[in-house]
C-alpha cells in the first residue's frame, strides 16, 4: 500500500503541474491569437517541445530496458508480464517524477530564456515609442546580444539624427525670431534718414546711433547663437586639456574690473585651487557670463561674491549678487534660450543658456540656488576629470 500511495501522490503532483502548465499555455496562446505570437512564447514552445521529446525518448529507452530485464528474469511470457508489472510498479513513480521534473525544467528554461530575449526588446520598443512622441532625450536600454546591439545602435543613430535636425530647426527659428527687432530698427532708422533726416545734424546723429546700437546687438546676438549652436552640436566635443580652473576664474575677474569699477561694484573671491580637464575657452565664457550678469544686476557700490570649491571630483562655482533677484515666473525657465534674466533690455537672453550647455558638456549642470535676502546665487558644477 505504501507503494500505491506514493504512486498516487506522484501522479497527483504531475497532473497538477500539467494542468497548471496547460492553463498557462492556453492563456498565452489566446493572447497571441489576438496580438501575434511573441518571441517569448515561440521560445517557450520550442524548449518545452524539445523537453517533451527528450522525455519521450528517455521513456521509450526505460520501457525497452524494463522489457529486456523482464525477459531475462522470466522463463515464460506470463512470468515476464508479471515481472514487467512489478518493475513498472517499482520504477513507474520515479519515471513519472522524472517526466514532471523535465517538463518543469523545460518550462523554467523557456521562461528564463524568453524573458532574457524579450525584455530588452520590450524596453527598446518603449524607448522607440518615446522618441516617436518627441522625447528626443529618451534613454535607450543597454544592448544585450549581437542582434539587439545592432538594433539599439540603429535606434540611437536615428535618435541622434532627429536631435540634430531639431537643433538646426531650433537654431533657424531662434535666429529668424531674434533678428527681427534689430533689423527692423536699422530699417526704420535708415528710412527716416533717407526721407531727409540726413540734413539735420542732430537727427542724423540720433538715428545713426540707433543703427550702430542695433548693429552691435546683431553682432552679439549672432556670436551668442553660433556659440550655443557649436556647444549643442552633436560630434563637436570640448577640446579637453588640463588647467587650473581657479586661474581661469581669476582671469575672468580681472577682465571684469572695468565694468565693475564703473558701477562701483566690489568683487570678492574665495577660490580653492582646482585642477580640471576640460575646454578652457568654453569655461572662461561661462564664467564671464555669470560674472557679467552679477555685476549688471548689482546695485551701485554693491558686492559680488564668487566661491570655488572641489569635492569628490566635482568642481562647484557659485556667483552671488545682491540685486533685485529673479522673478518667480521665470525661475524654472531661466536657463532656456531667450529667457531674459530679470528683464533688462538689450540682453540676448542667451548667456545663461550658454552657461548651462558648457556645464553639461563637462558632465555637470547649472542652476539658480535659493538664497535668504535680496539678490541671486548661480551655481555651475563640472566634473574635474
In CATH, the number for domain 158-232 is 1.10.287.130
Q: What is the pLDDT of residue 65?
A: 62
CATH number for the domain running over 241-383: 3.30.565.10
Quote the CA–CA distance of 41 and 110 in Å, as a whole number: 8
Per-residue pLDDT of 268-314, as tens digits, reads: 999 999 999 999 989 999 999 999 999 999 999 999 999 999 999 99
Residue 137, pLDDT score: 62
pLDDT at position 211: 84
Could you tell me if 361 and 282 are in contact, meaning their C-beta atoms sit under 8 angstroms apart? yes
Residue 288 CA from chain centroid, whole number: 29
Question: pLDDT at residue 365 above 80?
Answer: yes
Sheet with 376-383: list strands edge to edge: 266-271, 303-311, 314-321, 376-383, 365-369
**Ranges 101-105, 261-265, 367-371: which has the least confidence:** 101-105
Give the CA distances from residue 352 to residues 10, 44, 330, 333, in Å, rounded to whole numbers and listed in that order: 74, 55, 13, 10
Res. 332 pLDDT band, cuts 50 70 90: confident
Looking at the chain, the whole-number percentage of residues with pLDDT higher than 70 is 57
Lowest mean pLDDT among 22-26, 75-79, 170-174, 205-209: 75-79
Predicted confidence (pLDDT) at residue 76 exceeds the cutoff of 60 = no
Which grid coordinates are listed for 380?
555651475
Average pLDDT over residues 90-106: 62
pLDDT of residue 3: 44
User: What HEC string does the chain produce?
Assistant: CHHHHHHHHHHHHHHHHHHHHHHHHHHHHHHHHHHCCCHHHHHHHHHHHHHHHHHHHHHHHHHHHHHHHHHHHCCCHHHHHHHHHHHHHHHHHHHHHHHHHHHHHHHHHHHHHHHHHHHHHHHHHHHHHHHHCCCCCCCCCCCCCHHHHHHHHHHHHHHHHHHHHHHHHHHHHHHHHHHHHHHHHHHHHHHHHHCCHHHCHHHHHHHHHHHHHHHHHHHHHHHHHHHHHHHHCCCCCCCCEEEEHHHHHHHHHHHCHHHHHHHCCEEEEEECCCEEEECHHHHHHHHHHHHHHHHHHCCCCCEEEEEEEEECCEEEEEEEECCCCCCHHHCCCCCCCCCCHHHCCCCCCCHHHHHHHHHHHCCCEEEEECCCCCCEEEEEEEECC
Averaged pLDDT for residues 112-128? 67
What is the arithmetic mean of pLDDT over 377-381? Answer: 97
Three cell numbers written together for 359: 556645464
pLDDT level of residue 187 (50, 70, 90 thresholds):
confident
Which has more pLDDT, 88 or 156?
156
Convert the pLDDT of each residue in 39-53 to its tens digit.
555 556 666 666 666
Q: Considering only residues 241 and 119, tell me which one the structure prediction assigns the higher pLDDT.
A: 241
The pTM is what?
A: 0.55
Report which listed range, 7-16, 207-216, 340-349, is most confident: 207-216
Q: Which of 24-33, 112-121, 248-257, 291-300 has the lowest mean pLDDT?
A: 24-33
CA 277 centroid distance within chain? 23
Q: Which of 164-173, 194-203, 234-243 has the highest mean pLDDT?
A: 194-203
Q: Work out the percent of the chain whose per-residue pLDDT is above 90.
A: 25
Per-residue confidence at 31, pLDDT binned at 50, 70, 90? low
Domain borders along the chain are 2-141, 158-232, 241-383
pLDDT value at residue 4: 45
For 122, other C-beta atoms within 10 Å of its C-beta total 14
Cα separations in angstroms, 127 against 40, 137, 153:
20, 10, 13
pLDDT tens track for 350-362:
788 889 989 988 9
Q: Which residues contact 59 (CB under 8 A, 6 or more apart)?
A: 95, 99
Highest mean pLDDT among 11-25, 30-44, 171-185, 292-306: 292-306
Cα–Cα distance for residue pair 251/241, rounded to 1 Å: 17
What rounded mean pLDDT belongs to the chain?
74
Least trusted range by pLDDT, from 57-71, 152-166, 260-274: 57-71
Strand partners, 377: 320, 369
**Confidence band, pLDDT 50/70/90 cuts, at residue 217:** confident
Amino acid at each position: 500500500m505504501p507503494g500505491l500511495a506514493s504512486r498516487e501522490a506522484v501522479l497527483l503532483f504531475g497532473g497538477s503541474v500539467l494542468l497548471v502548465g496547460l492553463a498557462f499555455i492556453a492563456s498565452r496562446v489566446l493572447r497571441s491569437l489576438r496580438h501575434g505570437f511573441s518571441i517569448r512564447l515561440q521560445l517557450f514552445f520550442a524548449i518545452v517541445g524539445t523537453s517533451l521529446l527528450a522525455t519521450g525518448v528517455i521513456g521509450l529507452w526505460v520501457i525497452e530496458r524494463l522489457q529486456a530485464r523482464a525477459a531475462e528474469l522470466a522463463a515464460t511470457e506470463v512470468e515476464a508480464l508479471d515481472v514487467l508489472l512489478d518493475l513498472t510498479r517499482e520504477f513507474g513513480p520515479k519515471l513519472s517524477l522524472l517526466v514532471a521534473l523535465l517538463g518543469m525544467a523545460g518550462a523554467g528554461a523557456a521562461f528564463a530564456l524568453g524573458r532574457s530575449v524579450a525584455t530588452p526588446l520590450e524596453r527598446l520598443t518603449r524607448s522607440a515609442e518615446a522618441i516617436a512622441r518627441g522625447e528626443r532625450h529618451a534613454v535607450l536600454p543597454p544592448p544585450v546580444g549581437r542582434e539587439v546591439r545592432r538594433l539599439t545602435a540603429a535606434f540611437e543613430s536615428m535618435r541622434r539624427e532627429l536631435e540634430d535636425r531639431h537643433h538646426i530647426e531650433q537654431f533657424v527659428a531662434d535666429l529668424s525670431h531674434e533678428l527681427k527687432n534689430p533689423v527692423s530698427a536699422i530699417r526704420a532708422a535708415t528710412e527716416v534718414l533717407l526721407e531727409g533726416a540726413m540734413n539735420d545734424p542732430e537727427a542724423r546723429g540720433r538715428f545713426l546711433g540707433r543703427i550702430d546700437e542695433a548693429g552691435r546687438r546683431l553682432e552679439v546676438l549672432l556670436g551668442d547663437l553660433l556659440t550655443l549652436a557649436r556647444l549643442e552640436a552633436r560630434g563637436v566635443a570640448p577640446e579637453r586639456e588640463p588647467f587650473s580652473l581657479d586661474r581661469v576664474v581669476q582671469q575672468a575677474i580681472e577682465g571684469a574690473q572695468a565694468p565693475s569699477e564703473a558701477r562701483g561694484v566690489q568683487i570678492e573671491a574665495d577660490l580653492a585651487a582646482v585642477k580640471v580637464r576640460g575646454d578652457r575657452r568654453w569655461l572662461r565664457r561661462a564664467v564671464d557670463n555669470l560674472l557679467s550678469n552679477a555685476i549688471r544686476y548689482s546695485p551701485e557700490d554693491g558686492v559680488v561674491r564668487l566661491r570655488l570649491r572641489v569635492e569628490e571630483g566635482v568642481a562647484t562655482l557659485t556667483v552671488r549678487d545682491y540685486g533685485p533677484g529673479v522673478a518667480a515666473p521665470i525661475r524654472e525657465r531661466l536657463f532656456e534660450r531667450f529667457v531674459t534674466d530679470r528683464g533688462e533690455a538689450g540682453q540676448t537672453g542667451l548667456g545663461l543658456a550658454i552657461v548651462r550647455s558648457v556645464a553639461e558638456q563637462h558632465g555637470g549642470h547649472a542652476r539658480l540656488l535659493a538664497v535668504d535676502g535680496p539678490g541671486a546665487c548661480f551655481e555651475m558644477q563640472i566634473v574635474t576629470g
